[in-house]
Amino acid sequence: MKESGRKQGTLSPCAACKLLRRRCARDCVFAPYFPADQPQKFAIVHKVFGASNVNKMLQELLEHQRSDAVSSMVYEANARMRDPVYGCVGAISSLQQQVDVLQNQLALAQAEVVHMRLQTPQFPSTSSSAIAATNNDSSHSRRSYYPLNGVEQADVEDSLWS
């Protein structure tokens, strides 16, 4: 039977206890989250937060919350190593700026599409006799008709909002 990477007969210290050079007890709060085969995970968290603070944070949480908390601490510690001042807030801010730029580019592209649709309306595949019949049809008296290109104004307006 294995318990957090430790065999029942032999107690292999977790990464935290190994780094702190102490005996790893069966009820070690670090053992389930900092296995011996991932020493860099605890090393970076220890460097940024300190073992005492990590221990306090884990002790204050319910057991089912600890895994997520450790993941968050590892993420924040890695972010703090890259950017000591802003940490993950700097990464979030950078991503938000990228989203803003991309949203502006999308809005410009959509405006350009609308502009192009207004400049170059689609040609319906109708014969000249169908166009002449449409000009004489009383049901279309409300619509403006462009006789040179065979496109009704309502068709242009519909294509803008579809």
**Overall average pLDDT of the 111-139 stretch:** 67
Q: What is the pLDDT of residue 10?
A: 45
**What is the domain partition of the chain in residue ranges?**
2-82, 88-123+144-162
Q: What is the pLDDT of residue 4?
A: 47
From 11, 55, 8, 7, select the one nearest 33 (Cα to Cα): 55
> pLDDT tens across 31-84, in order?
999 999 999 999 999 999 999 999 999 999 999 999 999 999 999 999 999 999
